[in-house]
Homo-oligomer: A and B are copies of this chain.
């Protein structure tokens, strides 16, 4: 077991090696932007899918809508750049909302993002698996298994540590970007050199019957789903090499520029080629076919696209554990999320993310497409909250140049809010779950915090006065037979408190009682034996009653009651199922229900 763990995860790292686990800008760009960059594979298509419901003439609207998305992207990037400098320890939307808007908005932002990263992993791995198995149809029935294997692979990489996953995953991301750059470059070259018929596209401004502001906003909201993932860097600042905020900000801007170029390029080519969305072939695939024909380059684009979709999951793995740490430090989720694992990653967060996304993949049988709107809305809620939070901050603090900053965040907040609203208005049937699970998450987090606060309160030493000392000990030893295990326990009891030992036997039959008492008196004449006849064959009930009686008397003279339980430990683990687990039951029952001290005296069997 521990061998296997070592093999998969690697040897443990010292806490002081944490600095070496920080990553450079180049690697960070790869692992934190894979989610955002992969969205260009489906974002432009989403716009066309809405416009096609009117007519092919409406396709020219993709250009102004695309410009709108770019404006939103710019606002988001500038805004998150400000967040990075204002909150350099990470936490992104959660910390910003909590600090500036209060606990509940913070929880809404944090809760949405936690769920969102789980959805990111499930949706992107499923989509990538689909892309691969549509090339090899015989694999199609194994979709769920393949997706789970990918999740496990990414999980193991992340458990090995963020530097290792970054090293391995950086190449595919840059290859994808490179491939799309070639596609866009060659496409534009062909247009410029007149190899593409201008008759393919409808001129901008052509009147379209049936178009409405609602449709345009809907297309805009759909296209904005390409912006999911831009917040990841703000959560993961602690993973960057120092100076972390500067490096994170530069990475964010680099990611924004790449995303803008790729998105603009794909939207433009799709428009110029007059591409209509088809059921079987993606828009990017159609562009690639138009540009290159079905040659090596075409398959190269297809392959890297499938790969980037799977790797988009990695963004979730980088951002989720760090966001969870922030929530756990504020006591909103279990404290275990703040523990670093063997390789200094927050392993509990990584494993939790893996388990939840595998459950989602199994529950939806790998068909997670209709989770996409849910996933988009789960991003735009924190986008809106974070930027509103920043607006409040600027207005409150009024630092140098605050008006510019306020304008940037206000623009971002307004557009994000509109997009979020559009999701609710146009895809309510797919996103209403949010209205159920967000309040649920908030309620659970609130209860958890309340509990932790109450525990802290009760454990804190407030007075310097020491508690009343224990004057002496009464020891109760439940005995089942005359064995070495019992002998051991009695021996120990005698060393603690030779004159206050009571052995307790619980016979089910009167005959057993007498026989046992006779044997006992020969064997341990100096230890008092109490027989508790149990006609209903329960051990716990008569024992508990007896302990209560003893405790009442002992309490009068400040004596403490200790129950010593003899337990023999078999040599092999599976042997445990062959033994009546009475000692375990008695121990758990007493600890949880009575205020007695429980001591286990092990007797190790040698064979």
A605 and B494 within 8 A (CB): no
CB contacts (< 8 Å) of A595 on chain B: these are 602, 604
- In the complex, A330 has a CB within 8 A of chain B: no
State how many angstroms separate the Cβ of A373 from the closest Cβ of chain B: 32
User: Given the known A-B contacts A470-B491, A492-B560, are A336 and B580 also in contact in the complex, defined by CB atoms under 8 Å?
Assistant: yes
Write out, one digit per residue, whether chain A residues 513-535 have a CB within 8 A of any chain B CB (1) or not (0): 00000000001000000000001
State how many angstroms separate the Cβ of A360 from the closest Cβ of chain B: 21
State how many angstroms separate the Cβ of A607 from the closest Cβ of chain B: 5
B508 and A488 within 8 A (CB): no
Residue of B560, B567, B592, B602 near A495 (CB, 8 A) is B560
CB contacts (< 8 Å) of A567 on chain B: these are 591
- In the complex, A278 has a CB within 8 A of chain B: no
CB contacts (< 8 Å) of A16 on chain B: these are 535
Bound complex: CA A606 to CA B580 (Å): 32
Q: Give A524's nearest chain B residue, CB to CB.
A: B466
B602 and A599 within 8 A (CB): no
- In the complex, A562 has a CB within 8 A of chain B: yes
Bound complex: CA A311 to CA B590 (Å): 42
Write out, one digit per residue, whether chain A residues 431-461 have a CB within 8 A of any chain B CB (1) or not (0): 0000000000000000010011011001111
| Interface SS of A by simple majority | mixed
- In the complex, A570 has a CB within 8 A of chain B: yes
Residue of B336, B466, B494, B508 near A15 (CB, 8 A) is B508
Bound complex: CA A604 to CA B458 (Å): 10
B570 and A455 within 8 A (CB): yes
Size band of the A side of the interface?
35 or more
* Most chain B CB within a 10 A radius of its CB, from A578, A579, A591: A578
Bound complex: CA A452 to CA B580 (Å): 12
CB contacts (< 8 Å) of A591 on chain B: these are 567, 569, 600, 602
State how many angstroms separate the Cβ of A456 from the closest Cβ of chain B: 9
CB contacts (< 8 Å) of A335 on chain B: these are 578-580
- In the complex, A186 has a CB within 8 A of chain B: no
A342 and B536 within 8 A (CB): yes
User: Given the known A-B contacts A535-B14, A569-B591, are A494 and B469 also in contact in the complex, defined by CB atoms under 8 Å?
Assistant: yes
Bound complex: CA A600 to CA B492 (Å): 16
A470 and B492 within 8 A (CB): yes
User: Given the known A-B contacts A454-B605, A568-B455, A592-B569, are A334 and B578 also in contact in the complex, defined by CB atoms under 8 Å?
Assistant: yes
Interface residues of A in 1-41 (CB under 8 A from B): 12-16
Interface residues of A in 458-500 (CB under 8 A from B): 458-461, 466-467, 469-473, 481-485, 487-488, 491-492, 494-496
State how many angstroms separate the Cβ of A416 from the closest Cβ of chain B: 34
Copies of the polypeptide in the assembly: 2
Bound complex: CA A509 to CA B591 (Å): 32
CB contacts (< 8 Å) of A607 on chain B: these are 454, 458
- In the complex, A577 has a CB within 8 A of chain B: yes
Write out, one digit per residue, whether chain A residues 128-170 have a CB within 8 A of any chain B CB (1) or not (0): 0000000000000000000000000000000000000000000
State how many angstroms separate the Cβ of A328 from the closest Cβ of chain B: 10
Bound complex: CA A469 to CA B492 (Å): 8
- In the complex, A340 has a CB within 8 A of chain B: yes
A15 and B598 within 8 A (CB): no
User: Given the known A-B contacts A578-B451, A602-B591, are A492 and B597 also in contact in the complex, defined by CB atoms under 8 Å?
Assistant: yes
State how many angstroms separate the Cβ of A346 from the closest Cβ of chain B: 12
State how many angstroms separate the Cβ of A341 from the closest Cβ of chain B: 8
- In the complex, A339 has a CB within 8 A of chain B: yes
Write out, one digit per residue, whether chain A residues 276-311 have a CB within 8 A of any chain B CB (1) or not (0): 000000000000000000000000000000000000
A495 and B473 within 8 A (CB): yes
Q: Give A454's nearest chain B residue, CB to CB.
A: B607
- In the complex, A537 has a CB within 8 A of chain B: yes
Bound complex: CA A494 to CA B466 (Å): 12
Bound complex: CA A603 to CA B488 (Å): 27
CB contacts (< 8 Å) of A471 on chain B: these are 495
18 A-B pairs whose Cβ atoms sit less than 8 Å apart in the complex? A15-B509, A340-B537, A454-B605, A455-B570, A458-B605, A461-B523, A467-B487, A469-B494, A470-B492, A470-B494, A492-B560, A495-B560, A569-B591, A591-B602, A592-B602, A596-B602, A597-B599, A597-B600
Q: For the A-B complex with A451-B575, A459-B483, A459-B603 known, give 4 more contacts whose Cβ atoms are closer than 8 Å.
A: A335-B579, A339-B580, A467-B488, A472-B495
Residues of A within 8 A of B (CB): 12-16, 334-336, 339-342, 448, 451-452, 454-455, 458-461, 466-467, 469-473, 481-485, 487-488, 491-492, 494-496, 508-509, 523, 535-538, 560, 562, 567-570, 575, 577-580, 587, 591-592, 595-607
